[in-house]
Structure 1
């Protein structure tokens, strides 16, 4: 259980950090050039960075390289999270919540924290802690 949790946590942090960089740095740099966001859209994006500027090119690089890396790494995250969910015998609702939280910047860190708490609470023997039943038996 401990190794599965470690794999999940590492991937949750990697995917979470990449998603924040993409959403808060890459997307604004590459898309906020005053052009319409969608085809035929009359409302332009904010004109923070001119198209072809150094900042815009950095944003394009971030979204193309990190975007692709994030996509592949998110698939690995899903596999590790699902594997952990199966070993921990989580409900389908909790599992889907944890998987979906990986798609929302910053929320993925909260979900990782909740998942880790739940694992440590439900499987204390795997982490060297004693369950409430074990403590009760020792006190008898």
Structure 2
């Protein structure tokens, strides 16, 4: 159980950090150029960075490369979380909750904490110092 928890926690932290960087750095840098959102003029993005600026280019790089990396690593996270849930015999509802929480920035860290605490409480013999 310790190894499964370690793999889950490692992937949860990696995916969580990448998601925060992607959502709070990459997306604003690449998209906040004052252009209409989804092609609707009434809904515009903030004009924080000019189109073609170095900031916008950095944001595009972050969203394309980190976005792709995050997507692949999230698939690994799903496998690790599902594997842990089967070993711990969690209900399908709890498992789905943990998996979905991994898609929400910052909430993924709370879900990892809840899952880790539950594992340590359910299997105290394996985590005794």
TM interval, short-chain normalised: over 0.9
Q: For residues 52-131 of structure 1, what are the structure 2 equivalents within 5 Å?
A: 52-128=52-128
1:33 aligns to what SS in structure 2?
Answer: coil
Ranges of 4+ aligned residues in structure 1 off by more than 4 Å: none
Q: TM-score, normalised by structure 1?
A: 0.90
Aligned to 2:3: 3
Q: TM-score, normalised by structure 2?
A: 0.97
Count of aligned pairs: 129
Q: Deviations over 1:56-93 (max 9, x none)?
A: 00000000000000000000000000000000000111
Q: Deviations over 1:14-73 (max 9, x none)?
A: 000000000000000000001111024432100000000000000000000000000000
Which structure has more strand as a fraction of its residues? 2
For 1:95 and 1:74, how far apart are their aligned partners in 2?
15
Aligned to 1:46: 46
* Structure 1 vs Structure 2 CA RMSD: 0.9
For 2:4 and 2:48, how far apart are their aligned partners in 1?
43
For 1:77 and 1:8, how far apart are their aligned partners in 2?
7
Identify unmatched segments of 5+ residues in structure 2: none
For 1:41 and 1:11, how far apart are their aligned partners in 2?
40
Aligned to 1:28: 28
For 1:37 and 1:96, how far apart are their aligned partners in 2?
32
